[in-house]
Every structure is written in C-alpha cells, then in structure tokens.
Amino acid sequence: MKILVVGSGGQLGRELKKLHTSDDANSWMFAARDQIDLQKADDLRRLNEWKPDVVVNCAAYTQVDKAEEEVYACWEINALGVGRLAKKCNEIGSWLIHVSSDYVYHHNPGRPIKEEDPLFPRGIYAASKAGGETLVREFNPKHIVIRTSWLYGNEGPNFVKTMIKLGETKSELRVVADQWGSPTYTYDLAKAIRKIIRTLADSPNAEFAGTYHYANEGVINWHGFAREIMQEMGYDTHVLPITSAEYAAAAPRPGWSALSLSKIKRVFDIFPPHWRISLKSYLQELKKTI
C-alpha cells in the first residue's frame, strides 16, 4: 500500500517517519506543511499525482489558548481544511486516518468515555476538532477517526519536556490537579496507526470505518503526572496542586477525558501499554540525549 502522512513535521508525524523504516510491506510518503498546507486548497492537488491508498492526517492547529484569538486560522486548519482533505481522499478512493482530540469531550459520565458518548466541545480549539470530525464523516465513508489525549514524545514541545526543564531549575511547581486523563506516548500511537494500516491492507473488504480512542492505559491528573516525572528524573522539585480556576487558562480544558479503549482493542487487537511504563521508557531514552 501507498501511505501518505500529512503533517509530517509535527510530533506524531515525525514519529511515524522514524517507524516507517521498519515497514517493508508498504511505501510511505511524508508531506510537511511546506508541501501540503490544509489552509491551501490547491496543495491537495498533489494527492491526484501521489494516489495514496491511505492518508494519515497529523496536521493540526494545536495552540489551544491562542485559538481563542486566532479563530480563523484554527478553524481553517482543524475543520475546513480537514473537510477538504476528506473530500479529496474520497475522490481518489483512499482511506483517511484522522487524528482528533479528547478536547471534544467536556463532561464526566463517571466512567471512561466511550466513542458513542455525546460531544460537548468548549472553546474554539475543541469546537474546531469536533467540526473536523464531522466533515471527515460527511465527505469520506472510508475514514478512521482516532481521538487521543495528552500527547508527548521525542519531537517538539510537550508537557513532559516542559516539566523536565522546570524541574532542573525550580524547587517548587504549581500544577493543575482537577483535570484527569491519560498521557499518550507518540511512539505508542504511531505503532497503533501502523497496525491499523496493516489491518486495512490484510482485510480490504472488512468494515473498519468509524471512530476509535487511543491513549495509554491508566488515568492520572496533571499534578500526579508531573510528580511522576520528577520522581523518574530524580528531581527534588516539590509539586503543589492547584485548580483550573487558579491556573486561569484562556481556553477551557476537559476536567475528565479518560478514554475507553475497549473498541480499538476489540476491532484492531491493539492493547496500549500503561502510561507509567511508556513514560519510563520515554525518559530512559530522553536521558541519553540530555
């Protein structure tokens, strides 16, 4: 199969680029923003030439707070641009694997959230991600939407790297303790996407279209996650819990985004490792470069 990764310059895109070298069964192509910008409809004409069997969309506007001011740019990339991509994929007959976000949920059902639960997006970023999902389903029946949460990895800025940098110099940190979810290591998510693609290739006539959750197993709040990072790094930094109101971010964050993983386990036989295991593995690799 021919696979095109859109947004290959981001955290997840770069992780997929590293993984593709061990995939002899498929041909991979990678398009960063200078080749395919979802704000530019003309850029999508390249898909007519490349004719991929699967498009993996990792491109996104991710500056959650800034989105409250940059409404147009956020909506163009996360919603309208994604819709144009889905329409083009449908025209050329390719699957679209679209990466979405736990931000589409802003409610707590008292259990891990299931894919069929109602969406309650709050804020521009959250609404744009929900809008992108809607357009994907509308324009391309051959779609897989993956909602994920709390991404961190080797490439680009993320919460783990920020905590490490602060822990090196600060004796005390204040971290939100009333937002609960599941950290997700980009390496694990990239492997899951690769397995989904292999499944599509092996079972071309099966019905896989739909929405799935992927995150590492286990639930923690940001405060607990920060404490775990400090402990693993051997820092003495004291991490104090604060509320979301005290943090006072411009855009609202989900208070609960623990995702049920039962569907992706059942359909694709994908079993994510626990977040503590993945964090330990990530930090071991990161320490080699520090």
Active site residues: 125
Strands 220-221 and 180-181: antiparallel
The answer to whether 147 and 259 are in contact (CB under 8 A) is yes
Q: Mind giving me the DSSP string for 101-125?
A: EGGG-----SSPBPTTSPP---SHH
Buried/exposed code over 185-217 (b: 16+ C-beta within 10 A; e: otherwise): bbbbbbbbbbebbebbeeeeeeebeebbbbbbe
The residues with which 285 forms a beta bridge, in sequence order, are none
